[in-house]
Amino acid sequence: MIFCKAFCMSDDSIQIDHIRAQWAKARPDLDTAPMGLIGRLGRITRVLSREMEATFARHGLNQASFDLLATLRRAEPPHALTAGQLMDNMMITSGTVTNRINRLEVKGLVERRADKEDARRAIVGLTEAGFALIDRVIEDHVATQHRLTALLTDAEFAMLDAGLAGYLAKLDGREAG
């Protein structure tokens, strides 16, 4: 039952359906089907995010710090990037990346080094402690993701993944739609 409290959408689905029924009475001329889909996607996002944040918190991190450490870990050895490369990879602003770097540097998880090719730039890299931590966290994170998706059959997983990938591509304008 604990699993269901965290992951079951039935109460929220009923609430979304109730809201749509209210709109059907108040404005029968409106097609509120998208309201149901978008409401459910939003609720699913909140539940998944909460579970993943709990995983990061067990390691003293949050989504933002995990994202930066994971971006560096995925980079080729020596697992270091410029602030500009971090911004591009993480799709965040320079102020945001600087703030994240500063917080992780204080914790001893990343360090700034001089760029050998351009003295005006710094390279941000994982420390030994940062490397060890992100390796532990990514294993826990992947296990959390498996637990969160275990409710789906293989066919449901594949169908949902393909459908959402296609929908996202259309929303991003990569596919005519």
Q: Which amino acid is at 21?
A: A
Q: What angle do CA 144, 151, 65 make, to 5 degrees?
A: 20
Residues 50 and 41 sit within 8 Å (Cβ to Cβ): no
As a whole number of angstroms, the distance between CA 104 and CA 81 comes to 14
The one-letter code for the residue type at 142 is: V
For the chain, state the CA radius of gyration: 21
pTM, full prediction: 0.81
What pLDDT score does 1 carry? 36
Q: Is the bond into 78 cis (omega within 30 degrees of 0)?
A: yes
| pLDDT for res 142 | 98
Residues of the chain with confidence (pLDDT) below 50: 1-3, 5-7, 9, 177
Q: Which of 137, 155, 120 is nearest to 54 (CA)?
A: 137
Give the model's pLDDT for residue 10: 59
Pair 126, 104: CB distance under 8 Å: no
Residue 19, CA distances (Å) to 30, 32, 45 in order: 13, 9, 19
The whole-number pLDDT of residue 3 equals 47
